[in-house]
């Protein structure tokens, strides 16, 4: 058998094979200062140094041996450090040496390694033999997610449910899972799901159901920090999950050593112990879900693959709805279909017409199971060391699992997951894993003396942003998706099942799940080459430091997919870009000539939790917007045209919108599109271009979601026509008090009588037919220009040239963001979601109760009964911007020392001279919120365990001056 340290020697040897004929010794040698000339050793390279363990070298030309020149001779030289000893190789052929080293590297490996979870006798399941001809709900996928969905649907009273599995239950990625339940997740909703999952699994176990012998009440999870930034990150995560009632604490180095006396504590700053982190055995848990679902009437059929999903056209061909599912055992008529097929979800999405876009991609993951280690503690937590990118998970029988995430992962199955990939593993990948194992042995030297049982190389499903994919699809009505768990399937399975069941059975849920909604993606995200590129960096991000990005993504891969017509011009002007929904948007413009041009993006990507390097740059742009004139490229906003030959489009929009949209031609109406509960499905601006012709402008992220909402409500007679015109127009925000004077020099229009919240068709310079609107989405004076994209460069250059007399500059998203947060403007997707109503936002003045609209009944009820949450602006009076860590959304808010909500958006207010936080105050126990409830209390905001006094505002501060207009899609 082989120790872990020996295995590392072999893997390092493969990387250090000499390029010429020579004799090679692979050995654990003495420290360099102990090597003598008498030994005639030439050190080719030191692989790595393990504290308290001898360094490991490859040495050449040790001595001469007689022997054949045609084969490589292996000598076993015993040494007390290794159970297998040293390997001495001699050959004139590099290739022969390489071949032998490769054979040595695979020595002692198992062809069929055992998995980390235990083997249990399956519960007695009464499976269905024959496919029914019809049912209400079909679930595809018999892994932990599909079975949780089936269980929860049956608990919520759903009837006539069929679950089909193309192979055997839990034979895909569930079978490979390590069974970890980590409360640190990529989104708050996933942390909620994990919290619920733990409670559910514990309840099932306490009721006598099998969730495996892994303990739910274990020693939790311990996250180790080796840098100050990592420790601050853990403190931020502690503040968030502690507010949710999850048992956790920050540990100093002494407390860590008490729990892990065998750890090498060098460079450790502290850690986070999450006592509620847990482990379960995934296969017994999944089968328990199946058994309980069967007991309530769910039919489960194995060896039954879905081959096609059939639909029918509705609403004049603009909308598709599920009719039946075709399987390898026959068709099933159904009303609802749920895709829970994990690794196969994207491919199954193509088996319908229209196809459902599910941007998931299989990626490789690797872990190693040891044999029992006698000296390891019996109640050891799952140890995560993200700085060294590994974890150690205790198993039963005193063995451990060593795993981790390298920085650049390996997407696999690029042309489709094999249909027979069940109870299957991938070939061993020591080339990637030995780096993880190296770090684990350095931190836990005792591991080096252990023997490994098996290397486990498996696959799991990942998404382009590392977050779950859930909810109803954008393409087909009643086609739901629950997939893309990014390695957290066991942790979130309970919560995912509960949410999907609630959504289907009641149409409403406890949470808003926009951060994991499938409609946050577009067609571009399912492109195979894009997924191959982007998914290289996603799995590794689980252990990467996550610095503030303030609402923008800064991925290295899959970039420059969507750009405005001005992108080259803005890039030449120093623009630093972020990305939203594949669209490149300028964050700010670097004008500092001493900065090297190739390092411009470092200004946005350089990590800091405090004052950023771009602070003064954004301040300059902000001041131009407030006091002079600036141009902001806002082309990425979603833009739709809606038309009809008669009043159909007016009646359609009146029913969808809370505000009255039947205003004169040229009006700009800011409105919410509300759901039956009165919550925002969309927050948008409507521009009436003609009697039956409207332009709808929504946030960039709403592109897929808003079209789904519109199509699901269009008249059945096809009288309303919808079209996406986002790419047809370049949108320029000419902002600032000097904007009207600049435009007056380039146009014959009279801008003095250009009323706010109105639209006109104007000329600018040489270009005609520009839609100009008197609004800026920030509360400052200015104009939005919607320019046919082929003319955008001409208009931009004329504005910049004539604007020199007014001090015009380019400005970016960060300046605009600061302006809207200071004025307390809520933004959909950050501050607003489907659970937010106009009364929660103090926007009831934008609701016309004298007409009918979706959500009216719910709003009238809320108006009568009162609200339980309120949108509030907080100013941090005792925060030092130069010293203290900055807020960047997600921070807990405390009212009279009681947790009451989370921050949703933040910015440093240059006019207010303070950190500004937007967020919601929630009232407990059905208590109603009034003005006095907000004002007659003290507030604090927790930034990484440091609380700052927060002064509440229910309306925008008077220091901002009069609001020029109120519009912010």
Q: Residue 508's pLDDT is what?
A: 86
pLDDT tens track for 733-765? 999 999 999 999 999 999 999 999 999 999 999
Residues 6+ positions from 854 with CB-CB distance below 8 Å: 655, 656, 673, 674, 675, 676, 713
pLDDT reading at 452 higher than 60:
yes
**Rounded CA separation 422/143 (Å):** 11
Q: Residue 374's pLDDT is what?
A: 83
Q: Which two tokens stand for residue 148?
A: 């949780």
Q: Does domain 212-279+363-462 have CATH number 3.30.9.10?
A: yes
The DSSP code for 575 is E
Kindly indicate the confidence band of residue 319, based on its pLDDT and cuts at 50, 70 and 90: confident
**Rounded CA separation 706/61 (Å):** 71
pLDDT reading at 17 higher than 90:
no
Q: Residue 123's pLDDT is what?
A: 53
CATH architecture of 134-176+282-359+467-526: 3-Layer(bba) Sandwich (3.50)
Strand order in the sheet with 809-811: 759-764, 767-773, 782-788, 729-735, 630-633, 809-811
Q: Residue 751's pLDDT is what?
A: 94
Residue range 278-289: mean pLDDT, rounded:
94
pLDDT tens track for 194-234? 999 999 999 999 999 998 766 666 679 999 999 999 999 99
**Rounded CA separation 652/710 (Å):** 9
**Rounded CA separation 740/747 (Å):** 10
Give φ, ψ of 255 to 5 degrees.
-65, -35
* Start and end residues for every CATH 3.30.1360.120 domain found in the chain: 633-807
Kindly indicate the confidence band of residue 966, based on its pLDDT and cuts at 50, 70 and 90: very low
Q: Which two tokens stand for residue 516?
A: 């994991």
Report percent pLDDT > 70 for the chain.
84
pLDDT tens track for 175-196? 999 999 999 999 999 999 999 9
pLDDT reading at 554 higher than 90:
no
Q: Would you identify the CATH topology of the domain 633-807?
A: Gyrase A; domain 2 (3.30.1360)
pLDDT tens track for 131-179? 999 999 999 999 999 999 999 999 999 999 999 999 999 999 999 999 9
* Start and end residues for every CATH 3.50.50.60 domain found in the chain: 134-176+282-359+467-526
Kindly indicate the confidence band of residue 610, based on its pLDDT and cuts at 50, 70 and 90: very high
Q: Residue 62's pLDDT is what?
A: 30
- Location of structure tokens 């009809």: 644
Q: In 3-state terms, what secondary structure has residue 812?
A: coil
Q: Residue 591's pLDDT is what?
A: 72
Residue range 579-586: mean pLDDT, rounded:
94
Q: Residue 216's pLDDT is what?
A: 63
- In order of 466, 782, 815, 824, 960, the CA distances from 820 in angstroms are 29, 14, 9, 6, 11
**Do residues 806 and 744 lie in contact, with contact meaning Cβ atoms separated by under 8 Å?**
no
What own/partner pairs with CB < 8 Å and gap ≥ 24 does 958-965 have?
A: 959/911, 959/912, 960/779, 960/822, 960/823, 960/911, 960/912, 963/779, 963/823, 964/756, 964/776, 964/779, 964/780, 964/781, 964/782, 965/756, 965/757, 965/774, 965/775, 965/776, 965/779
Q: Which two tokens stand for residue 204?
A: 């099932």
Give φ, ψ of 103 to 5 degrees.
-65, -40
Reported pTM = 0.88
Q: Residue 601's pLDDT is what?
A: 44
Kindly indicate the confidence band of residue 661, based on its pLDDT and cuts at 50, 70 and 90: very high
pLDDT reading at 299 higher than 50:
yes
Residue range 676-694: mean pLDDT, rounded:
97
**Rounded CA separation 222/780 (Å):** 48
Q: Which two tokens stand for residue 362?
A: 């299989």
Could you tell me the maximum CA-CA distance found in the chain, to the nearest angstrom? 102
Average pLDDT along the chain: 86
pLDDT tens track for 343-377? 999 999 999 999 999 999 999 999 999 999 887 77
Check residue 769 and give left, alpha or beta (phi > 0: left; psi -120 to 50: alpha). Answer: left
pLDDT tens track for 525-547? 999 999 999 999 999 999 999 89
- Location of structure tokens 């521009």: 687
Kindly indicate the confidence band of residue 710, based on its pLDDT and cuts at 50, 70 and 90: very high
* Strands 759-764 vs 767-773: parallel, antiparallel or unpaired: antiparallel
* Start and end residues for every CATH 3.30.9.10 domain found in the chain: 212-279+363-462
Nearest Cα to Cα of residue 64 among 90, 41, 45, 102: 90
DSSP bridge pairs for 383: 222, 392
pLDDT reading at 900 higher than 50:
yes
- CA angle in degrees (0–180, nearest 5) for 380-145-520: 105
Region 866-960: CATH code = 2.40.30.110
- Location of structure tokens 């960039």: 700
Kindly indicate the confidence band of residue 315, based on its pLDDT and cuts at 50, 70 and 90: confident
pLDDT reading at 861 higher than 70:
yes
Kindly indicate the confidence band of residue 963, based on its pLDDT and cuts at 50, 70 and 90: low
**Do residues 546 and 715 lie in contact, with contact meaning Cβ atoms separated by under 8 Å?**
no
Nearest Cα to Cα of residue 2 among 456, 449, 455, 457: 449
**Do residues 238 and 945 lie in contact, with contact meaning Cβ atoms separated by under 8 Å?**
yes
* Start and end residues for every CATH 2.40.30.110 domain found in the chain: 866-960
The 10 Å Cβ neighbour count of residue 129 is 8
Nearest Cα to Cα of residue 141 among 450, 484, 406, 468: 484
pLDDT reading at 240 higher than 80:
yes
**Rounded CA separation 469/518 (Å):** 5
């Amino acid at each position: 058998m082989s120790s872990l340290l020996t295995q590392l020697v072999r893997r390092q040897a493969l990387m250090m094979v000499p390029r010429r004929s020579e004799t090679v010794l692979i050995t654990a040698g003495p420290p360099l200062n102990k090597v003598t000339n008498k030994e005639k050793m030439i050190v080719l390279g030191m692989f790595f140094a393990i504290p308290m363990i001898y360094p490991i070298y490859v040495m050449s030309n040790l001595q001469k041996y007689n022997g054949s020149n045609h084969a490589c001779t292996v000598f076993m030289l015993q040494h007390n450090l290794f159970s297998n000893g040293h390997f001495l190789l001699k050959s004139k052929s590099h290739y022969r040496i390489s071949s032998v080293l490769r054979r040595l590297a695979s020595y002692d490996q198992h062809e069929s390694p055992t998995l980390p979870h235990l083997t249990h006798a399956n519960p007695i399941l009464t499976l269905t033999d024959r496919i029914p001809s019809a049912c209400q709900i079909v679930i595809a996928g018999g892994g932990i997610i599909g079975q949780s969905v089936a269980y929860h649907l049956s608990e919520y009273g759903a009837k006539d449910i069929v679950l089909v599995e193309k192979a055997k239950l839990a034979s895909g990625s569930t079978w490979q899972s390590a069974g970890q339940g980590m409360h640190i997740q990529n989104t708050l909703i996933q942390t909620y799901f994990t919290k619920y999952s733990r409670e559910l699994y514990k309840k099932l176990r306490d009721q006598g159901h099998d969730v495996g012998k892994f303990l739910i009440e274990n020693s939790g999870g311990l996250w180790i920090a080796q840098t100050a930034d990592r420790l601050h990150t853990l403190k931020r995560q502690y503040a968030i999950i502690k507010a949710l009632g999850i048992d956790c604490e920050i540990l100093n180095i002494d407390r860590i050593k008490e729990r892990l006396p065998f750890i090498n504590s060098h460079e450790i700053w502290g850690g986070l112990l999450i006592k509620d982190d847990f482990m379960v055995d995934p296969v017994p848990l999944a089968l328990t879900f199946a058994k309980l679902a069967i007991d309530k009437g769910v039919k489960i059929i194995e060896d039954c693959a879905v081959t096609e999903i059939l639909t029918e056209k509705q609403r004049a061909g603009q909308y598709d709805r599920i009719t039946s599912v075709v399987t390898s055992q026959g068709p099933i008529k159904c009303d609802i279909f749920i895709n829970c097929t994990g690794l196969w979800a994207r491919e199954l999405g193509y088996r319908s017409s229209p196809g459902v876009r599910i941007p998931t991609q299989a990626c490789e993951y690797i872990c190693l199971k040891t044999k029992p280690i006698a000296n390891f503690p019996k109640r050891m937590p799952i140890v995560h060391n993200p700085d060294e990118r590994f974890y150690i998970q205790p198993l039963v029988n005193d063995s451990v699992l060593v795993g981790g995430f390298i920085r650049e992962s390996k997407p696999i199955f690029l042309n489709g997951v094999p249909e027979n990939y069940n109870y299957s593993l991938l070939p061993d990948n020591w080339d990637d894993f030995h780096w993880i194992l190296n770090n684990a042995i350095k931190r836990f030297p005792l591991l080096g003396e252990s023997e490994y049982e098996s290397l486990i190389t498996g696959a799991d499903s990942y998404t382009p942003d590392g977050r779950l994919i859930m909810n109803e699809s954008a393409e087909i009505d009643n086609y739901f998706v629950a997939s893309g768990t990014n390695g957290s399937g066991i942790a979130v399975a309970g919560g995912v099942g509960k949410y999907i069941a609630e959504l289907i059975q009641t149409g409403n849920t406890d949470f808003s799940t926009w951060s994991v909604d499938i409609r946050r993606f577009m067609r571009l995200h399912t492109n195979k080459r894009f997924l191959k590129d982007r998914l290289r960096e996603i799995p590794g991000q689980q252990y990467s430091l996550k610095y503030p990005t303030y609402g923008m993504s800064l991925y290295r891969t899959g970039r420059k997919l969507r750009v405005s017509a001005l992108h080259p011009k803005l890039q030449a002007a120093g623009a630093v870009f972020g990305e939203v929904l594949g669209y490149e948007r300028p964050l700010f413009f670097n004008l500092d000539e001493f900065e090297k041009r190739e390092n411009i993006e470092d200004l946005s990507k350089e990590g800091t939790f405090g004052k950023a390097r771009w602070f003064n740059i954004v301040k300059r742009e902000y001041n131009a917007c407030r006091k002079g004139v600036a141009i902001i490229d806002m082309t990425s906003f979603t833009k739709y045209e809606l038309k009809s030959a008669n009043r159909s489009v007016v009646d359609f929009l009146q029913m969808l919108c809370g505000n009255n949209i039947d205003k004169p031609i040229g009006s700009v109406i800011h409105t919410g599109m509300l759901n039956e509960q009165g919550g925002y499905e969309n927050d948008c601006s409507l521009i009436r271009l003609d009697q039956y012709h409207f332009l709808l402008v929504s946030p960039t992220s709403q592109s897929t979601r808003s079209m789904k909402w519109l199509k699901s409500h269009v008249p059945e007679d096809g009288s309303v026509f919808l079209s996406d015109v986002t790419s047809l127009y370049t949108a320029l925000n000419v902002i600032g008090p000097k904007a009207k004077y600049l435009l007056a020099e380039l146009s014959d229009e009279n801008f003095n009588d250009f009323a706010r919240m109105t639209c006109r068709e104007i000329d600018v310079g040489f270009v005609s037919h520009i839609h100009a609107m008197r609004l800026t989405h920030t509360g400052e004076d200015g104009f939005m220009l919607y320019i046919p994209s082929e003319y955008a460069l001409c208009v931009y250059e004329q504005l910049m040239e004539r604007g020199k007399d007014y001090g015009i500059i380019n400005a970016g998203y960060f300046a605009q963001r600061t302006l809207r947060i200071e004025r307390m403007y809520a933004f959909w997707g950050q501050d607003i979601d489907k659970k937010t109503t106009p009364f929660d936002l103090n926007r009831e003045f934008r609701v016309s109760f004298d007409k009918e609209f979706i959500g009216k009944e719910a709003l009238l009820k809320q108006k009568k009964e009162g609200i339980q949450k309120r949108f509030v602006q907080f100013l941090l009076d005792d925060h030092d911007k130069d010293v203290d860590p900055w807020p960047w959304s997600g921070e807990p808010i405390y009212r009279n020392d009681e947790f009451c909500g989370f921050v949703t958006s933040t910015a440093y207010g240059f006019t207010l001279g303070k950190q500004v936080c937007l967020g919601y105050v929630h009232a407990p126990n059905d208590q109603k919120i009034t003005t006095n409830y907000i004002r007659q209390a003290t507030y604090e905001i927790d930034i990484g365990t440091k609380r700052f006094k927060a002064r509440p505002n229910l309306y925008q501060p008077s220091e901002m001056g009069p609001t020029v207009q109120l519009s912010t899609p």
